[in-house]
Amino acid sequence: MKKILAICRREAFAYFYGPIFYVAATFLTFMIGFTFYQIVKHGSGIDANIGYITEMGGSLLLFITPMLTMRLFAEEYKQGTMESLMTAPVTDWQVVIGKYLAVCAVTMAMFLPMLVHVGVLYALGKPAAATTLTLAAVLFVWGAFYAAVGLLVSAFTREQVVAAVLGLAANVVLWIVGFWLGQTDFVKRVEWLDKAVSYVGFYTHLEPALRGVVDTRDIVYFAGAIVFLLFATVRVLESRKWRG
């Protein structure tokens, strides 16, 4: 556990030494601020809660998470530090979980400025606290899901740019399967296909929670998906060892 935390800490701090975190956090703050402005200016009858942060933030994470996760393994391969890391008495799982927790924490850290929004909402209105917490949890799960995808992709290559592009591509594919595909007439017409797509696609499992409905099946879906992705990452690390 101590080793996992040490890896997590090192990894998380490494983000604060580079520009990507700050650029992404600024962009996110600006975009969500702009959304807020639009809602206040044009919106009416919208429930005064943080739903817009979750939806806007989650959508933007599709692009932002690959930028954060691209370095996780690619940089270690390129710098050669993979060799000192993997020859220290740590297991592959400890490395993978440490890195994963770091990127999850950093993703959430980008949303810290949004606390201002929460403050404003609570000062001026009466949002339901349970809903706020649910929406925050949805955002976290959304980010954690993309982070697990990005982590896996980063383990495949020593080029950060390749890792970023692959991560983005994977997220887009998941988005298409999870959101857009379910909306097409072709899929809607075939009942079993419609069911299958809605079961596999991740957005169908996020959407109820966005409306405030928390279903155990959705929790199991995301927990399972993340564990699977982390497991796959460990296997990729192992197979790279064999190839030398």
Partner 1 sequence: MPVVKVEDLTKRYGQIVGIDGVSFEVEKGEVVGLLGPNGAGKSTTMRILTCFMPATSGDAQVAGHDVFSQSLEVKKHVGYLPENVPLYPEMRVSEYLDYRGVLKGLRRPERRKRTAEALERTRTKEVAGRIVGQLSKGYRQRVGLADALLHDPDVLILDEPTVGLDPNQIRETRALIKELGESHTVILSTHILPEVEMVCSRVLIMNAGKLVPQEVIDRYLKRSGFRLVLTGDWPGIQKKLTAIEGVSRTQLLDKTPELTVSVETRQGTDLREKIFDAVVGGGGKVLEMRQAALSLEEAFTRITTADTAAADEEAA
Could you list the residues that contact partner 1 (CB under 8 A)?
Answer: 2-3, 6-7, 9-10, 13-14, 17-18, 79-91, 241-244
d(CA 18, CA 38): 32
Report the distance separating Cα 105 and Cα 21, nearest Å: 12
* Closer residue to partner 1 (CB): 92 or 194: 92
Residues 6+ apart with CB under 8 A from 212: 131, 134
**3-class SS string, 39-88:** HHHHCCCCCCCCHHHHHHHHHHHHHHHHHHHCHHHHHHHHHCHHHHHHCC
Tell me how far, at minimum, the Cβ of 182 lies from partner 1, in Å. 43
Shortest distance (Å) from residue 22 CB to partner 1: 15
Q: Residue 4 or 163: which CB sits closer to partner 1? A: 4
Closer CB to partner 1, residue 47 or residue 83? Answer: 83
3-state secondary structure 173-234: HHHHHHHHHHHCHHHHHCHHHHHHHHHHCCHHHHHHHHCCCCCHHHHHHHHHHHHHHHHHHH
As measured in angstroms, the least distance from the Cβ of 90 to partner 1 is: 6
Q: Please check whether residue 204 is in contact with residue 198, taking contact to mean a CB–CB distance below 8 angstroms.
A: yes
- Could you give the CA distance from residue 211 to residue 202 in angstroms, rounded to a whole number? 15
Least separation in angstroms between residue 143's CB and partner 1 is 24
Please report how close the Cβ of residue 23 comes to partner 1 at its closest, in angstroms: 17
Provide, rounded to whole angstroms, the least separation between the CB of residue 18 and partner 1.
8
Helix 216-243 and helix 92-110, axial crossing angle in degrees, nearest 10: 130
Give whichever of 93 and 180 is closer to partner 1, judged by the CB atom: 93
Q: Which is nearer to partner 1, 26 or 239 (CB)?
A: 239
